[in-house]
Amino acid sequence: DSGVTQTPKHLITATGQRVTLRCSPRSGDLSVYWYQQSLDQGLQFLIHYYNGEERAKGNILERFSAQQFPDLHSELNLSSLELGDSALYFCASSVGQGSEAFFGQGTRLTVV
Amino acid sequence: GQNIDQPTEMTATEGAIVQINCTYQTSGFNGLFWYQQHAGEAPTFLSYNVLDGLEEKGRFSSFLSRSKGYSYLLLKELQMKDSASYLCAVRDPPTGTASKLTFGTGTRLQVTL
């Protein structure tokens, strides 16, 4: 158990819908990262938050947004969902910039 | 940006030694990580190199040459449970408090009897 908690574990929804994925980082970790992993694809970096502020953006679609709250948990919002958005979405946390990132178990999103 | 290359698949025999290579071309470098990922599960941290040389941790070792943009992960005394994907990731130099990992597509290792 990495200490990073993601909910829900599985999500099935229809095209055009909107979903919210939630992540609670390890106690004391200020950095939260979101990654997308499609079938047989590598982990694609989406966005990084540090202590409530957005710090870096990767290949994140405009239909996707995220935020980190004062209690340091983070949410990833995916809207106008398309079939191609079906993937595993991982959250990872780290103390800051100096150490390894610990991953949650992921949310498997299926868009039908 | 970062470009990371790893072999797609490898096969090795239980009890043997396997070396998984990773090459990278980056606009900046602040460390290289290896993660293990079983299918459908979270990546788990294996090793971290920021200086040249070999880091050993039990059955796993990782090597880095920054001048060559090259790393490898060495797995000894292979066990069936080592069948997994092995992900090489490069960390960008920090800009303020931002520092992300860029992952390669991973090497799928199959351990056979």
Closest CA of chain B from A57, distance in Å = 9
Please report the pLDDT score of residue A39 as a whole number.
80
Contact A100 B45 (CB under 8 A): yes
Distance in angstroms (rounded) separating the CA atoms of residues B76 and B49 = 19
Distance in angstroms (rounded) separating the CA atoms of residues B69 and B88 = 12
Please report the pLDDT score of residue B17 as a whole number.
97
Q: Is A25 on the interface with B (CB under 8 A)?
A: no
Q: Is B42 on the interface with A (CB under 8 A)?
A: yes
**Cα dihedral sign for A4, A10, A14, A15?**
positive
User: CA nearest B106: which of B2, B1, B7?
Assistant: B7
Q: If you write DSSP's letter for every residue of A8-20 in order, what string do you get?
A: -SEEEE-TT--EE
Please report the pLDDT score of residue B91 as a whole number.
86
Tell me the per-residue pLDDT of A33-84, one tens digit each, with 9 for 90 and over. Answer: 999 999 877 899 999 998 999 988 888 999 999 999 999 999 999 999 999 9
* Parts of chain B with a pLDDT under 70: 1, 94-99
Q: In chain A, what residues touch B32 (CB-CB under 8 Å)? A: none
Choice between B68 and A96, residue whose per-residue pLDDT is larger: B68
Please report the pLDDT score of residue B13 as a whole number.
97
Q: In chain A, what residues touch B89 (CB-CB under 8 Å)? A: 43
